[in-house]
Chains A and B, each alone.
Chain A
Amino acid sequence: NAGVTQTPKFRILKIGQSMTLQCAQDMNHNYMYWYRQDPGMGLKLIYYSVGAGITDKGEVPNGYNVSRSTTEDFPLRLELAAPSQTSVYFCASSGRQLSTDTQYFGPGTRLTVL
Chain B
Amino acid sequence: AQSVTQLGSHVSVSEGALVLLRCNYSSSVPPYLFWYVQYPNQGLQLLLKYTSAATLVKGINGFEAEFKKSETSFHLTKPSAHMSDAAEYFCAVSERGSYIPTFGRGTSLIVHP
How distant is the Cα of A65 from the Cα of B34 in the complex, in angstroms?
28
Assembly CA distance A96 to B100 (angstroms): 10
Chain A min CB distance to B35 (Å): 12
Smallest CB–CB gap between A13 and chain B, Å?
20
Interface size counted on chain A using CB atoms at 8 A: 26
Residues of A within 8 A of B (CB): 4, 31, 33, 35, 40-43, 45, 48, 50, 58, 90, 92, 94, 96-100, 102-103, 105-108
Residues of chain A contacted by B42 (CB below 8 angstroms):
107-108
Least distance between B9 CB and chain A CB atoms (Å): 6
B43 touches A107 (CB 8 A): yes
Give 12 A-B contacts (CB < 8 Å), ordered by A residue.
A43-B103, A90-B43, A94-B99, A97-B97, A97-B99, A98-B98, A99-B49, A99-B96, A99-B97, A103-B46, A106-B43, A108-B42
- What bracket does the count of chain B residues touching chain A fall in? 20 to 34
Contact between A98 and B101, CB atoms less than 8 A apart: yes
Listed in ascending order, the chain B residues whose CB lies under 8 Å from chain A are 9, 32, 34, 41-46, 49, 51-52, 90, 94, 96-101, 103-106
State the CA gap A50–B99 with chains docked (Å).
Answer: 9
CB distance B46 to A102 under 8 Å? yes
Indicate if the CB atoms of A42 and B104 lie closer than 8 Å: yes
* Interface SS majority for chain B: loop
Task: Report the minimum CB–CB distance from A89 to chain B (whole Å).
Answer: 11
Complex CA–CA separation, A43 to B103 (angstroms): 6
Q: Which residues of A contact B101 (CB under 8 A)?
A: 98, 103
Of chain B, the residue at the smallest CB distance from A94 is B99
For B34, what are the chain A residues with a Cβ–Cβ distance below 8 Å?
A: 98
With A43-B90, A94-B99, A99-B51 as given contacts, are A105 and B44 in contact (CB-CB < 8 Å)? yes
Distance between B43 CB and nearest chain A CB, rounded to angstroms: 3
A42 touches B98 (CB 8 A): no
With both chains docked as a complex, state the minimum distance between the C-beta of B64 and any C-beta of chain A, in angstroms.
Answer: 18
Taken together as a complex, chains A and B put the C-alpha atoms of A92 and B9 apart, in Å, by 24
